[in-house]
Amino acid sequence: MSSKQDLPLQKQDSASQPTLWEFVRLADYRVPSPVGASAALEKWASLKRAFRGNDSAEQAPVKAEADLRTLSQSRLQRLVGPIDWRCAAAALDAAMADWLHASKPDALVKFVIGQPHCGHPQILAHWAARHRATRIEVPSSEQILAGDERWFAAWPEADHLWVLPQLEHCYLRHADGLRLVRRLLEQAASGALGRGVIACDSWAWAYLQEVWPVPQPEALTLQAFDGLRLSRYLAELASCQGGGCLHFRNATTGKEVQLERGPDDSDACPEINHIAVHSRGNIGSAWSSWRASLRATPEQDDGAREQASALEQEANPDAEIVWVSAALQEPVMPAEKGEGMAFVLHALLLHNGLPAFLLPKLLPQPDHRLASSLLQLQTQGVVMLVGERWQISASAYAVVRDFLRRRGFLRDDF
């Protein structure tokens, strides 16, 4: 006897599914909220934590966390591979088609705002290649601090399309670090630069609205991945070797974590909804949380199968089990007196990453203190070094955002 849970993951008819990747105006971004089973699960968990006390009679988990291990990198690569931003670029193309083909658009420059780890530089790179647009490289820190307008020589002739993928790297929060970006925004608004697209990180966008407020009601952003959208995306990523069946199971309850739903289902499973809500629809943060939650038993070698029960073994002899941790796996913020570390984190977010040598120019802290903060944060997995820039890690982004929110720091609108 089989049920929908026992079927292998497979792609649904694309015509029956809403578009996964969608660009909308900033005002139309919708942060996921707990709904249906997820909301009930959250409330019930809160009540149990409040009234349970030391109740030792609580049902033991099907798989104790201590008995599970993280998946190997090769298996994670197979189950949750890197995000392919080309699909998002195609969605951006659809959203900007009317503007691109209009002979006299209302504004010659289009803005695209992206949250951290939501791939706006990669998306714009794919989009630029598709349209053979000139890619504008960001100015050096020396050019920014000097307000060197020779940077504008990089712009093409007025009749050629251009793309600036990272506006957040074109300024510094410094007394001498805003003149160039103000001049850029002024020229873009006047039409002096011709037709082009400027992409900007959401935190830098919030800051720049304070220093050069230009209404941009038509600015676009990637729509939030709610539970249903995230569930369908993760199902597309998952794959099985040898055509066997793949099952994700909650390590605490043992119940199936269903990634794909039929067209008549209104809700994603509680576990996926929880990740979507916690990440506030940020696909990069949600992707990282899902990868971090996947587990295997010690006897499961890479590529091995574990049979869930005698009945399942008889029905699906090739079933592969992946256990899903019930707890979100996130870095822990280092304990610190004062707000020095908070200022470091905020500076990294406002610029979508900074080289270490620039931090002393932007923050009133000595070099050794900044180096110590970065080391602590790196050890805890809160920051990572990408090229020459220190950035907030995808796994820590939701934690850091809440950390700064509770301290009243300026943050993005997502």
Residue 313's pLDDT is 43
**Average pLDDT, stretch 32-40?**
63
**Average pLDDT, stretch 40-61?**
52
The strands making up 246-250's β-sheet, listed across from edge to edge, are 69-70, 294-296, 320-324, 246-250
Residue 338's pLDDT is 73
Q: Is residue 142 part of a domain?
A: yes
What's the token pair of residue 41? 């699960």
Residue 394's pLDDT is 96
Q: Is residue 183 part of a domain?
A: yes
Type of residue found at 251? A
Domain housing 369: 340-392
pTM, 2 dp: 0.85
Residue 35's pLDDT is 63
Residue 64's pLDDT is 78
**Average pLDDT, stretch 367-371?**
93
Residue 245's pLDDT is 77
Residue 304's pLDDT is 44
- Show Cβ contacts of residue 165 under 8 Å, excluding neighbours closer than 6 positions: 120, 121, 124, 125, 128, 135, 199
Q: Is residue 353 part of a domain?
A: yes
**Average pLDDT, stretch 199-217?**
90
Residue 58's pLDDT is 53
Query: Backbone phi, then psi, for 390, in 5-degree steps?
Result: -85, 130
What's the token pair of residue 318? 């090739």
Least trusted range by pLDDT, from 46-50, 278-282, 327-331: 46-50
**Average pLDDT, stretch 107-114?**
96
Please check the confidence at residue 254 and state whether its pLDDT lies above 80: yes
Q: Is residue 91 part of a domain?
A: no
Torsion of CA 50, 56, 58, 61, to 10 degrees: 110
Please check the confidence at residue 311 and state whether its pLDDT lies above 70: no
Least trusted range by pLDDT, from 205-219, 226-240, 291-305: 291-305
Please check the confidence at residue 141 and state whether its pLDDT lies above 90: yes
CA distances from 258 to 224, 278, 305 (A): 20, 19, 18
The residue whose two tokens read 């002739």 is 157
Least trusted range by pLDDT, from 23-27, 129-133, 328-332: 328-332
Q: Which of 217, 246, 281 is the last residue of a domain?
A: 217
Q: Is residue 71 part of a domain?
A: no
Please check the confidence at residue 287 and state whether its pLDDT lies above 60: yes
CB 193 within 8 A of CB 167: no
Residue 62's pLDDT is 76
Instruction: Please give the share of the chain, as a percent, with pLDDT higher than 70.
Output: 81
Report the DSSP beta bridge partners of residue 133.
none
Q: What is the mean pLDDT of the chain?
A: 84
Q: Which of 191, 217, 243 is the last residue of a domain?
A: 217
DSSP structure class, residue 244: -
CB 276 within 8 A of CB 268: yes
The residue whose two tokens read 């790196």 is 378
Helix, strand or coil, per DSSP, at residue 398: helix
Q: Is residue 201 part of a domain?
A: yes
**Conformational region of residue 114, where left means phi above 0, alpha means psi within -120 to 50, and beta covers everything else:** beta
**Average pLDDT, stretch 133-149?**
97
Domain count, the chain: 2
Report the DSSP beta bridge partners of residue 110.
197
**Average pLDDT, stretch 315-328?**
75
Pair type for strands 134-135 and 320-324 = unpaired
Q: How far apart are CA 229 and CA 249, in angstroms?
A: 20
Q: Is residue 133 part of a domain?
A: yes
Q: How far apart are CA 212 and CA 260, in angstroms?
A: 45
Q: Is residue 235 part of a domain?
A: no
Residue 355: give its domain's CATH number.
Answer: 1.10.10
Q: Predicted confidence band at 121 (pLDDT cuts at 50, 70, 90)? A: very high
Q: Which of 169, 199, 217 is the last residue of a domain?
A: 217
Residue 347's pLDDT is 98
Residue 89's pLDDT is 97
- Show Cβ contacts of residue 222 under 8 Å, excluding neighbours closer than 6 positions: 21, 22, 23, 88, 91, 114, 115, 118, 120, 123, 283
What DSSP string describes 1-24? ---GGGSPP-PPPGGGS--SS-EE
DSSP structure class, residue 63: S
